[in-house]
Amino acid sequence: MLFSSSVFIFIFFPVVLAGYYGLFRKRRKMQNVFLLICSLFFYAWGEPAFVLIMLVSILANWLFALWIHHEERLKKQRFILGLMSAFNLSFLFVFKYLMFTIQSINGLLSSHFSVPEIALPIGISFFTFQAISYVIDVYRGHGEVQKNPMNVGLYIAFFPQLIAGPIVRYETISEQIKYRKETWNDFCEGCCRFICGLGKKVLLANTLAVVADAAFNSNSSNLSVAFAWLGALAYTFQIFFDFSGYSDMAIGLGKMFGFHFLENFNFPYISASISEFWRRWHISLGTWFRDYVYFPLGGSRVKRSRLVFNLFVVWFLTGVWHGANWTFIVWGLMYFVLITSEKLIGFEKKWPKAKPFKHLYTLFFVIIGWVIFRAVTLSQGLGFIGIMLGIKGHALFSADFFLYLKMNWVYFIGAILCSLPFNYWVKLKFNKESLIYDCVYAVGMSAVLLLSLACIIKGAYNPFIYFNF
């Protein structure tokens, strides 16, 4: 089920609210069971059969955590940790990477191994990473072990973050599962955050997706330099507003039920370095890799060669996590090269007066990265970049560039403004207690809500871009 659908907004969400705050009010255990059942239903609405796979993951990781908790010998605990990692990663490998691996082997060795047809359960990367986080955090003593599998189920399958993140660390919400406190303030803030995310997804991401699709799906021989840039820029905004919109909706929904998730995006496009970009982009994934992969490998307090190796592992895995395709691997490795170079030359501390250039450099590589990420094949991505850079001799402008720019310039301006911390500047200008500001805010948010619902109910283009994740 998608947040940006009538069934979610008008049926599922009100039913969950009514059950949670009406039927099971002030009965925490029942509320948790109810939320878990609703979350499984939420997942089953899009992936009816795969809900069983998620249940297997929940039960297995509940057992792993109990086992690790009751085991006192460090060696044995590490063995269990290894077993848990092997279980979860092989789970992920079979559903997500097996086909790709066999296809790649066949391609490289000209062999003919049969490629099994395995459908990818939506959100498997998200819920597997949360499951791993649960067991590791229990092992590290960063959260109490859950004796009740229902609570583990709720942590892993809680519907707001289930299919598109953020990846919620167990240590973040281990207390909240039993002892959270719902307040009217949180509820209203969460509601506004949800509307904000809905607007980002429906009004900006979905609209700009039409431009990106037109550019990326057009015949590459007719693609002009300007239209290629417009398409790349549209996708740059699409993926940001789609992803951060989903995160906003998840954070908002969580708040409405008393959960406090950490922020997942922090205006990434204002970054002045690639390293900073990744501290602002998909923060939950970055910190997951930092804490569960990079630090255990030794982090940055190691020899240079080891540092390069550690970074390579992290960025290779980051690429692979996003999908089983060479495009994602190359995209991840591009960031490995850029971030390693930045670290080795101390880029962030150098040239403080060249900030505009640093912003441009960051944006340039981020956009180039998104082109590779969006492309169906690596050759398509490289060809597209070739056109953008003008090395393929394509026309500078074309009629489709002007057509799509004319139709969408309002949305591009909206996207640029929403990519900047505009909201904070406005807040500083206005008195916090100003009635005018409050009314303008409420009217503005209501307009965003109505326009978003108009698109949803009308059945406007509503792509789901996480099917690879």
Partner 1 sequence: MRKYYITTVLFFIVLMAGISGYFSDSFIKSIARVWETKPLKVEGSFNQDMKRLIGEIDNEINSNTGFRLQFVELHGAVQKYTGNSIVKDADKTVVKLKNNKLSFYYFSVEKEKLDWESQQLSKLSQFTNRMGIPLLYLQAPFKIEKNSEQLPEGLSDYINEDVDYFLKKLSTDTQVDYVDLRELMKIKKLEYDAAFFNTDHHWKPETAFWAYTQIAHIIKDKYGFVIPEKVLSLKNYNIKEYKNYFLGSEGKRVGRYYGGVDDFSLIYPKFHTDLEFKIPSKNLTKKGTYLQTVIDHNSLGVKDYYNKNPYAAYTGGDYPLNIIINRQAPNQKKVLLVRDSYSCPFAAFLSMGVNELHIIDLRHYNKSLLNYIKKEKPDLVLFLYYPTRLNDFDTFQFN
Q: Is 449 in the site for partner 1 (CB under 8 A)?
A: yes
In which region does residue 181 sit, left (phi positive, over 0), alpha (psi from -120 to 50) or beta (all else)? Answer: beta
Rank residues 224 and 236 by Cβ distance to partner 1 and give the closer one: 224
Q: Is 282 a catalytic residue?
A: no
* CA distance readout (Å), 123 to 79, 128, 131, 322: 27, 8, 12, 11
In whole angstroms, how close is the CB of 341 to partner 1 at the nearest point? Answer: 40
Binding partner 1 (rule: CB under 8 A), the pick from 24, 34, 229, 402 is: 402
Among residues 240, 281, 200, the alpha carbon closest in space to that of 449 is found at 200
Contacts of residue 97, Cβ cutoff 8 Å, sequence gap at least 6: 320, 324
**144, 173 contact by CB (below 8 A):** no
Binding mask 1-20 for partner 1 (x = CB under 8 A): ----xxx-xxx-xx------
Binding partner 1 (rule: CB under 8 A), the pick from 264, 400, 412, 469 is: 400
Q: How many residues bind partner 1 (CB under 8 A)?
A: 56
Rank residues 105 and 457 by Cβ distance to partner 1 and give the closer one: 457
Q: Is 396 in the site for partner 1 (CB under 8 A)?
A: no
Q: Three-state SS string across 65-126, please?
A: HHHHHHCCCHHHHHHHHHHHHHHHHHHHHHHHHHHHHHHHHHHHHCCCCCCCCCCCCCCHHH
Q: Is 74 in the site for partner 1 (CB under 8 A)?
A: no
Cα(446)–Cα(440) distance, rounded to whole angstroms? 10
**130, 56 contact by CB (below 8 A):** no
Rank residues 44 and 150 by Cβ distance to partner 1 and give the closer one: 44
Binding partner 1 (rule: CB under 8 A), the pick from 393, 399, 425, 431 is: 399
Cα(247)–Cα(253) distance, rounded to whole angstroms? 10
In whole angstroms, how close is the CB of 454 to partner 1 at the nearest point? Answer: 4
Rank residues 325 and 408 by Cβ distance to partner 1 and give the closer one: 408
Rank residues 336 and 404 by Cβ distance to partner 1 and give the closer one: 404
Six-digit token string for 203: 């009004």
Among residues 20, 293, 324, 272, the alpha carbon closest in space to that of 167 is found at 293
Q: Is 398 in the site for partner 1 (CB under 8 A)?
A: yes
In whole angstroms, how close is the CB of 407 to partner 1 at the nearest point? Answer: 5
In whole angstroms, how close is the CB of 414 to partner 1 at the nearest point? Answer: 10
Q: Is 187 in the site for partner 1 (CB under 8 A)?
A: yes
Cα(14)–Cα(19) distance, rounded to whole angstroms? 8
Cα(446)–Cα(196) distance, rounded to whole angstroms? 10
How crowded is residue 21: how many other Cβ atoms within 10 Å of its Cβ? 15
Helix H or strand E encompassing 213? helix 206-217
Binding partner 1 (rule: CB under 8 A), the pick from 84, 274, 285, 455 is: 455
Q: Is 192 in the site for partner 1 (CB under 8 A)?
A: yes
Binding to partner 1 (CB under 8 A): which residues in 100-129? 119
Candidates 69, 282, 322, 394; catalytic one: 322
Binding partner 1 (rule: CB under 8 A), the pick from 149, 460, 465, 468 is: 460
Dump strand ranges (E) for 333-448: none
Q: Is 451 in the site for partner 1 (CB under 8 A)?
A: yes
Cα(257)–Cα(382) distance, rounded to whole angstroms? 45
Residue 371: what residue type?
A: V
Cα(121)–Cα(225) distance, rounded to whole angstroms? 37
Rank residues 126 and 411 by Cβ distance to partner 1 and give the closer one: 411
Q: Is 441 in the site for partner 1 (CB under 8 A)?
A: yes
Rank residues 420 and 440 by Cβ distance to partner 1 and give the closer one: 440
**61, 69 contact by CB (below 8 A):** no
Helix H or strand E encompassing 288? helix 283-289
Q: Is 56 in the site for partner 1 (CB under 8 A)?
A: no
Binding mask 201-220 for partner 1 (x = CB under 8 A): ---------x----------
Choose the stretch contacting partner 1; rule: CB under 8 A; options: 174-182, 336-344, 347-355, 455-463.
455-463
In whole angstroms, how close is the CB of 203 to partner 1 at the nearest point? Answer: 9
Q: Is 351 in the site for partner 1 (CB under 8 A)?
A: no
Choose the stretch contacting partner 1; rule: CB under 8 A; options: 158-166, 172-180, 335-343, 408-416.
408-416
What is the gyration radius of the CA atoms in the chain, in angstroms? Answer: 23
Active site residues: 322
Binding residues for partner 1, per CB under 8 A?
5-7, 9-11, 13-14, 45-50, 119, 185, 187-189, 191-192, 195, 210, 398-404, 406-408, 410-411, 435, 437-439, 441-442, 445-446, 449-451, 453-462
